[in-house]
Amino acid sequence: MKAARETLQSWLHRPLFLATVAAALSTLLLLAGSLFVVMQQTQQRESDLMNAQGERFLQRLEQLFGQLRESLDDLQNQPLRGCDDEMIATLQQVSFNYRFVYEAVYIDSRGTCSSRPRQSGLSLAHAPDLRGPTYSYWLNTTTEPDENRAALMLGRGNFRVATSRGHLTDVVDLPPGSSLLVVLDHGERAVPVLGSDQYWPPTEPWPPKNRNALQVTATRLIYRMKTDSPEYQLVLIAQRNGFHIPANAWWMLPTSLILGLGIGFLVFLLARQRQSMDVELHGAIRRGEFQVLYQPIFDLRSRNCVGAEALLRWRRPDGSLTSPELFIPMAEDTGQIRQITDFVLQRLFDQLGQLLRANPQLYISVNLAACDVMVPRIGEVIARLLARHRVSARQIAFEVTERGLIDVLVARDNLQSLRDVGHQVLIDDFGTGYCSLAYLQTLPVDCLKIDKAFIDALGHDAASSGVAPHIIRMAHALQLKVIAEGIEHEAQASYLRSEGVTFGQGWLFAHALSAVQFIELITRGRRRLGRRLDDEA
């Protein structure tokens, strides 16, 4: 298992492998995303087309039904009754006057006569499929494919009028595989008027709860047409075409491939840069490119320097500075952070050991990475240095961030071990992590450091302007000291002092100093330095 993990880690540090994986995954994700968008657009166009067809069909069907009803009204209102030549002429005239009337029929107890006496295709044996207060409806009166046979019939009194299958086809213009149904019995039964038979109901229960005219199922599009009668409903059903890539979507594959290769190339460059920085980081200590600066900490009332925070800076051979935000996370990932922490401690004692021995009230704080918080190693390292340089443990403080407290129980034990020998423990950048008050009460902590972002918000209407006062009150309640970071204005210092904050650091007092400048600050008793120093961070 360990060998497999080491093998995987070695592959993950190869830029070409990472770039290939990134390019492949990016291409697949981009292609999948493109296909998804195309599918959504295709389905939307399919739905829009069905909605448009449904609305158009409804208008045409209303026109057709209107003509059939109007022709019935004309026949019902004329005085003739009985089958004679005059009645046949009247029926033929109605068929001529109304475009959608294919056949008109008169029926009484004595017989039947039609406008097409030799071609009548009406089947009058069964009861109407739908009986309304004025009109009765016979649906799908013939199943023969002949377009000159009647397919839909309306009746009023002794008269019947029918439209042919050809007329319906002209009006509705059904797409292949579609059907026009009339739904009866409150959705329980459907009679096909045009098109192929469809199983019904399509879903259970029917009708669906939503009121959308268009219902989309896995295989069908079902358009419910609004009608004035609650007794029936016109339904248009079309088979879905299934997924297919439109011809104009040919660009998806090459575009996804090009973008994927571009992402892979960027990953390759970043991995090479990271690998290059990793190699440079490995030799930076040996080449003497790291330097330790000291950010003085002042008593806000006396304005005397009481200590400093050790800061690590990486100055490249060309004179440029690399931000700790770049190389510290990399050092943590590669395990080099322990070597860097040891370097900072060793350099601190080499540069300021004599100053600390001469000023027992002075202390220096050092930042600990999460890996050093979770193991007792740092206690052994600092014990050897303290003994060699004859410096008191209380003069070396350790700063940990809330984000570094991965396992609070383990961290508490290790931090308590440091406190037991006399070291101070500070929570750095408090308020930016996830350390709750409940955990804070159980941690062996001496001091809270308020992050600069909350100090900058003081006196402004920002949402975070009330965080610093809240942290101060909480620290006082827990009997903890408070250090405010990033003080740049006298008004900030005055406000913090009035709130009971004892210590602060920031450009108002001094920038980060070299060891020589910090020693000069302490030995000469200077309370303020100039604004800019040549080797500031």
For 163, the enclosing helix (H) or strand (E) is strand 159-164
| Of 266-275, 315-324, 373-382, highest mean pLDDT | 373-382
Edge to edge, the sheet with strand 130-131 lists: 111-114, 103-108, 159-164, 150-156, 136-139, 130-131
Residue 227 has pLDDT above 60, yes or no: yes
Q: Which phi-psi region, left, alpha or beta, contains residue 154 (left: φ > 0; alpha: ψ -120 to 50)?
A: beta
The CA distances from residue 59 to 55, 64, 239, in Å, are 6, 9, 22
Least confidently predicted of 62-66, 193-197, 437-441, 445-449: 437-441
More confident residue, 264 or 492: 492
| Of 3-7, 30-34, 221-225, 348-352, highest mean pLDDT | 348-352
The Cα 237–Cα 235 span in angstroms is: 6
Residue 216 has pLDDT above 70, yes or no: yes
pLDDT band with cut points at 50, 70 and 90 for residue 390: very high
pLDDT band with cut points at 50, 70 and 90 for residue 402: confident
pLDDT band with cut points at 50, 70 and 90 for residue 360: very high
For 111, the enclosing helix (H) or strand (E) is strand 111-114
Phi, psi (rounded to 5 degrees) for 84 = -145, 180
The Cα 476–Cα 72 span in angstroms is: 95
For 74, the enclosing helix (H) or strand (E) is helix 15-77
Q: Which two tokens stand for residue 283?
A: 């030799």
- Mean pLDDT in the chain? 78
Residue 274 has pLDDT above 60, yes or no: no
More confident residue, 515 or 237: 515
Query: What is the pLDDT averaged over residues 376-395?
Result: 93
For residue 2, give every residue at least 6 positions away whose Cβ sits within 8 Å of its Cβ, in sequence order, or none. none
Give the CA angle between residues 462, 466, 294 to the nearest 5°: 90
Per-residue DSSP letters for 6-64?
HHHHHHHT-HHHHHHHHHHHHHHHHHHHHHHHHHHHHHHHHHHHHHHHHHHHHHHHHHH
What does the pLDDT read at residue 536? 37
What does the pLDDT read at residue 300? 93
The Cα 154–Cα 130 span in angstroms is: 10
The Cα 185–Cα 207 span in angstroms is: 12
What does the pLDDT read at residue 186? 74
> Which residues on neighbouring strands pair with residue 427, listed in sequence order?
400, 448
Q: Which two tokens stand for residue 57?
A: 């069909």
The Cα 79–Cα 183 span in angstroms is: 36
Phi, psi (rounded to 5 degrees) for 515 = -60, -40
The Cα 122–Cα 154 span in angstroms is: 11
The Cα 322–Cα 526 span in angstroms is: 30
Q: In 3-state terms, what secondary structure has residue 512?
A: coil
Percent of the chain with pLDDT over 90: 26
- Look up tokens 């108002």; give the residue: 508
Least confidently predicted of 62-76, 221-235, 465-479: 221-235
What does the pLDDT read at residue 279? 64
CATH fold label, 288-524: TIM Barrel (3.20.20)
- Look up tokens 């009339």; give the residue: 182
Query: What is the pLDDT averaged over residues 302-323?
Result: 86
pLDDT band with cut points at 50, 70 and 90 for residue 438: low
Dump pLDDT digits (tens) for 499-531.
Answer: 999 999 999 999 999 999 999 999 886 444 444
Listed by start position, the domains of the chain span 2-239, 288-524
Residue 308 has pLDDT above 70, yes or no: yes
More confident residue, 451 or 36: 451
The Cα 4–Cα 267 span in angstroms is: 24
Specify whether the CB–CB gap between 409 and 439 falls below 8 A: no
Q: Which two tokens stand for residue 19?
A: 């770039």
Specify whether the CB–CB gap between 139 and 191 falls below 8 A: yes
Least confidently predicted of 13-27, 172-186, 366-380: 13-27
For 379, the enclosing helix (H) or strand (E) is helix 377-389
Query: What is the pLDDT averaged over residues 388-406?
Result: 87
